[in-house]
Amino acid sequence: MNSFDTDVLIVGAGPTGLTLANELARHDISFKIIDSAITTSQTTKALGIMPRTLELYEKTGIDKEMVEMGLVTPAFNVMNKDRGLIHFDFNKRCNSPFPFVLMLPQNKTEEILYHHLMKQNHDVEWETKLLEIEQDANGTTAVVQKGIEMPRPSLPNISWGVTGLIVQSDINLG
């Protein structure tokens, strides 16, 4: 049994988990990121990156590579058969340096975020599952499984994040 201490355990290396990992790395906050997959997604479940997300990526320079690989979409229509329901023009309605939705498949987004994370000397622990998480007065303990090993990381008195879940924290990322 192996154990490790960290400030944040990120469960899930999709776009949300990788974004969080890159932000924590940028602020020198210790973390460990795990995912049960063997690598980043090879398919896509999402296509568009919104302006505010691009603003976050701009702080680390990730935005440039994404914009180069994606399709800038400054306006779009929502249709029902042949009837237009909504026309949305980001140039008119979005006060952002990125007045558009960036069409970039999820697998490409993850690839860019993962490569940026590795450039910062961090990696994802692939093929690693969260089995159990417990919190008491002494901190938080997570049980994860990688292969046949069962490491039991000890997370002293911290907030922790699970992809897709908002967790209260007193760490200021401003």
Q: Domains in the chain: how many in total?
A: 2
Domain range spanning residue 156?
A: 1-43+106-174
138, 58: one domain: no
98, 110: one domain: no
Asked if residues 141 and 133 have their Cβ atoms less than 8 Å apart, the reply is: yes
93, 110: one domain: no
Question: Where would I find the beta strands (DSSP E) of 8-68?
Answer: 8-11, 31-34, 48-49
124 strand-pairing partners: 33
Instruction: Report pLDDT digits (tens) over 108-158.
Output: 999 999 999 999 999 999 999 999 998 888 888 888 888 654 445 555 554
116, 162: one domain: yes
Q: Does this model's pTM top 0.85?
A: no
Contacts of 60 (CB under 8 A, 6+ apart): 22, 23, 26, 116
- For residue 133, give the CATH number of its domain: 3.50.50.60
**What number is the average pLDDT over the span 71-91?**
91
Question: What pLDDT was estimated at residue 150?
Answer: 44
